[in-house]
Structure formats: structure tokens, C-alpha cells
């Protein structure tokens, strides 16, 4: 079986009990924690920053933390997330003046770096920096909120991104974010994704393990 990773987005967790929520979702079988950073400028919502990432590390979270920056300009905050214990740091090309430099900044720290593409953003940038990318994150909703509906056109884009990654011969994860659920995860994987963000599908359910187990069963079909 392919090496599939499930990354619950804590955007849909209960922030008042965040440490416990993260413990619970990891105990339920999650592979990493997806950490959505929104600045009320690049996206119309305001969430959590490096202090919360550090707080989770101090609390004892050992799993990879997958930091998705929806922040513009992005460079100023990258260093803070490196110091806060991020494992992956991904950003949107529109949010950086110098995409190559931002990627280099992340890589130089030892963190893994990635680019995030909105539903209507072309994959073109990837061609020039693919050697500096550990992850390609495709948004399957417009960024800003959890609980939105998966945009079906993303499936074609996943196939395109999969071709680019395979042609590069590089070890790059292909992550999908937005509207992922037990009912569409299999076709998303069939299109070429290997890493799945799911917020509301997991945290709005009464039993996190049941959802993650069903996702894994779907992925093993």
C-alpha cells in the first residue's frame, strides 16, 4: 500500500481544549497535525500563530506539525514558526515577493517546505522551484474556512500535479486540503494525492478513530 498520511486540521478542533484535542486525534491514528494560520488579510479569517505551535510542542506533541500559512507577506512569520517547532511550512506563492528565497529560508532551517495552490492558481511556479519543495498542497476549497464543499475540478489538478512530481523523480508529498471526507478520499487518492487534510470530517464527528479508520479502509481498497 502507498504511504498515505492523514493530517487532521485543528481549525475544526475545540480551541479551548486544544492540547487534549491534538492528543485525542493522534491517539485515533492521525499521522500529523495540520495547523492553519490565517491573518485576516490574505484570507478573511484570523486564527492561530507561532505561540500556539510552540505551546503544543511544550505540551508534549511529538507528531509532525504541518503549518499552512495563509499570511501575506509571509516571510516575516516563517522564522517564528521555525523556532516554534514546525515540521512542514507551506505558503501560497501569491503571499511571497520572492518565492525561491522563502523556500530557501525554510529549507535552511531543516524544516520541510511546500507551496500551496488555490483552486484557480496555476501550477506554473512549481516548475522553477520543484527541487526546493518537499510538499505540494492543493487547495480543494477557497482558503479561509473549514467545512466547505470539495471543488471537483481539483481532481484534474491533482492528476496534473502528480505528473509533474513523478516526472521530477523527487520525493515530494502531494497534499489535498478542503472538503476531504470518508466519501471522497478514495477518488482523491486515485487521482494521485498521498496526504489528506481533513478538519470538519474528523473533528465534527463524535468518534475520531472511527472516521480515520474508515478513511484508511477507503485508501486500502
141 binds, among Zn ion, ligand DX5, none (CB under 5 to 8 A by kind): ligand DX5
Beta strands 112-117 and 195-198 are unpaired
Q: Could you confirm whether 36 is annotated as catalytic?
A: yes
Beta strands 112-117 and 173-177 are unpaired
- Residue 68 binds ligand DX5 (CB under 6 A): yes
User: Radius of gyration (Cα) for the chain, nearest Å?
Assistant: 16
Total of chain residues touching ligand DX5, rule CB under 6 A: 21
Three-class DSSP category at 3: coil
Q: Could you confirm whether 131 is annotated as catalytic?
A: no
Stretch that binds ligand DX5, among 81-89, 93-101, 128-136, 142-150 (CB under 6 A): 142-150
Q: Which of 66, 134, 177, 194 is catalytic?
A: 177
201 binds, among ligand DX5, Zn ion, none (CB under 5 to 8 A by kind): ligand DX5
- Residue 199 binds ligand DX5 (CB under 6 A): yes
Q: Among the residues of the chain, which ranges form H helices? A: 18-27, 50-59, 75-83, 99-108, 126-129, 154-168, 185-191, 200-203, 208-220
With both helix axes pointing from N to C terminus, report the angle between 208-220 and 18-27 in degrees, rounded to the nearest 10.
40
Could you list the residues that contact Zn ion (CB under 5 A)? 36, 68, 177
Residue nearest to ligand DX5 according to CB distances in the complex: 199
Catalytic machinery residues? 36, 177
Amino acid at each position: 500500500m502507498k504511504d498515505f498520511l492523514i493530517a487532521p486540521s485543528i481549525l475544526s478542533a475545540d480551541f479551548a481544549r486544544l492540547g487534549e484535542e491534538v492528543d485525542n486525534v493522534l491517539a485515533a491514528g492521525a499521522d500529523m497535525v495540520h495547523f492553519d494560520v490565517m491573518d485576516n488579510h490574505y484570507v478573511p479569517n484570523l486564527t492561530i500563530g507561532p505561540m500556539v505551535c510552540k505551546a503544543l510542542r511544550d505540551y508534549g506533541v511529538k507528531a509532525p506539525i504541518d503549518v499552512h500559512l495563509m499570511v501575506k507577506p509571509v516571510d516575516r512569520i516563517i522564522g517564528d514558526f521555525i523556532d516554534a517547532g514546525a515540521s512542514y511550512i507551506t505558503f501560497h506563492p501569491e503571499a511571497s515577493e520572492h518565492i525561491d528565497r522563502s523556500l530557501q529560508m525554510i529549507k535552511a532551517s531543516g524544516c520541510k517546505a511546500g507551496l500551496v495552490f488555490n483552486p484557480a492558481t496555476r501550477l506554473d511556479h512549481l516548475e522553477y522551484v520543484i527541487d526546493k519543495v518537499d510538499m505540494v498542497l492543493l487547495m480543494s476549497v477557497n482558503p479561509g474556512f473549514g467545512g466547505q464543499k470539495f471543488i471537483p475540478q481539483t481532481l484534474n489538478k491533482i492528476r496534473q500535479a502528480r505528473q509533474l512530481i513523478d516526472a521530477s523523480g523527487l520525493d515530494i508529498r502531494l497534499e489535498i486540503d478542503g472538503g476531504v471526507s470518508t466519501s471522497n478520499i478514495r477518488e482523491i487518492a486515485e487521482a494521485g494525492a498521498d496526504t489528506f487534510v481533513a478538519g470538519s470530517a474528523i473533528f465534527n464527528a463524535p468518534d475520531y478513530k472511527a472516521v480515520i479508520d474508515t478513511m484508511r479502509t477507503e485508501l486500502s481498497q
